[in-house]
Amino acid sequence: MMGEVPAYTVKRSQRKTLSIYLERDGTISVLAPEHFTDEEIHTIVRRKNFQLYKHLAERDELNATRSLREVVNGETFPYLGRNYRLQLVDAQPVPLLLKEGYFCLKRTDKDKSQEIFKEFYRAKGIPRITKRVEYFRGRMGVETGQVRVMDLQHRWASCSVITGDLNFHWKCMMAPLSILDYIIVHEMAHLKFDNHSDAFWNEVDKIIPDHRERKQWLRVNGAGMDL
Ligand SMILES: [Zn+2]
């Protein structure tokens, strides 16, 4: 498949072959022999497009594992669609507390802090999501199993059509309630339709008529919902 050609810079020199480099910062450099025209270079880059995109995608994945947030005073962490500032504290009975508009975190190293946050989202997520699942269950007419909140990597939610178990990423707890509802209903609709057919979307539509807007919100804001 041919996509759009990514932006690139060209340096011509007295070399015999053309090379395309993906720089550390994600930009693309083309080193070309002097006699190559812009058009020729463009044709070659376009032909290489697929491989370039593959590299870019891999790079994005690497970047994605890098953290978005520092564990420092004043850094913000989202919870149910609102941002709360971080306040590091020396003594506190529990590792993390949401108090008076602040996330109060007992000082520890970064890895440990991230684990503490994940546990916070997970612990808050289970009762809240379970309640919503129970609420939608009757309206949608589906049998559900266990509700889990966990690290699902690149998915917001998953389910088992056999057991009716529903799994949600802890990141879902960073989203506003309306978005969280959309994720829940979307996954519950998969218990009826194990695909994204018209019948599936019709099912979602019955409960969440503005699902397109919510889906779009998630597409735009989802990447920022991480630690
Ligand atoms: Zn789906």
Q: Say what percent of the chain tops pLDDT 70.
A: 89
Q: Give the model's pLDDT for residue 62.
A: 58
Q: What mean pLDDT comes out for the span 19-38? A: 81
* Spacing, Cα 204 to ligand 1 middle (Å): 10
Clarify whether residues 183 and 136 are in a common domain. Answer: yes
Clarify whether residues 145 and 220 are in a common domain. Answer: yes
* Spacing, Cα 146 to ligand 1 middle (Å): 18
* Spacing, Cα 193 to ligand 1 middle (Å): 9
**Is 118 part of a structural domain of the chain?**
yes
Clarify whether residues 131 and 39 are in a common domain. Answer: no
Question: Does the structure show a pLDDT above 80 at 161?
Answer: yes
Mean model confidence pLDDT for the chain: 90
Q: Give the model's pLDDT for residue 42.
A: 85
Give 67-87 pLDDT, tens digit per residue: 789 999 999 999 999 999 999
* Spacing, Cα 200 to ligand 1 middle (Å): 9
* Spacing, Cα 127 to ligand 1 middle (Å): 22
Question: Does the structure show a pLDDT above 90 at 49?
Answer: no
Q: Say what percent of the chain tops pLDDT 90.
A: 69
* Spacing, Cα 44 to ligand 1 middle (Å): 37
* Spacing, Cα 185 to ligand 1 middle (Å): 10
Q: Give the model's pLDDT for residue 5.
A: 67
DSSP H helices, the chain, are 38-47, 49-65, 110-140, 177-189, 198-207, 211-221
Clarify whether residues 102 and 202 are in a common domain. Answer: yes
Residue type, 95: P
For residue 156, count other CB atoms closer than 10 A to its CB: 21
Domain that holds residue 52: 9-63
**Is 89 part of a structural domain of the chain?**
yes
The length of the chain, given as a count of residues: 227
Number of structural domains in the chain: 2
CATH at 160: 3.30.2010.10
**Is 1 part of a structural domain of the chain?**
no
**Is 68 part of a structural domain of the chain?**
no
* Spacing, Cα 28 to ligand 1 middle (Å): 34
* Spacing, Cα 155 to ligand 1 middle (Å): 9
* Spacing, Cα 73 to ligand 1 middle (Å): 37
CB 84 within 8 A of CB 98: yes
Q: CA-CA distance, 34 to 12, in Å (whole number)?
A: 5
Give 209-220 pLDDT, tens digit per residue: 999 999 999 999
**Is 161 part of a structural domain of the chain?**
yes
Question: Does the structure show a pLDDT above 50 at 2?
Answer: no
CB within 8 Å of 24: residues ≥ 6 apart:
none
More confident residue, 135 or 46: 135
Question: Does the structure show a pLDDT above 70 at 206?
Answer: yes
* Spacing, Cα 196 to ligand 1 middle (Å): 6
Question: Does the structure show a pLDDT above 60 at 65?
Answer: no
* Spacing, Cα 138 to ligand 1 middle (Å): 20
* Spacing, Cα 153 to ligand 1 middle (Å): 15
Clarify whether residues 93 and 56 are in a common domain. Answer: no
* pTM for the model: 0.72
Q: What mean pLDDT comes out for the span 39-49? A: 81
Give 173-196 pLDDT, tens digit per residue: 999 999 999 999 999 999 999 999
DSSP H helices, 1-151, are 38-47, 49-65, 110-140
Clarify whether residues 103 and 205 are in a common domain. Answer: yes
Clarify whether residues 183 and 121 are in a common domain. Answer: yes
Q: Give the model's pLDDT for residue 1.
A: 37
* Spacing, Cα 56 to ligand 1 middle (Å): 25
Q: What angle do CA 172, 112, 170 make, to 5 degrees?
A: 10
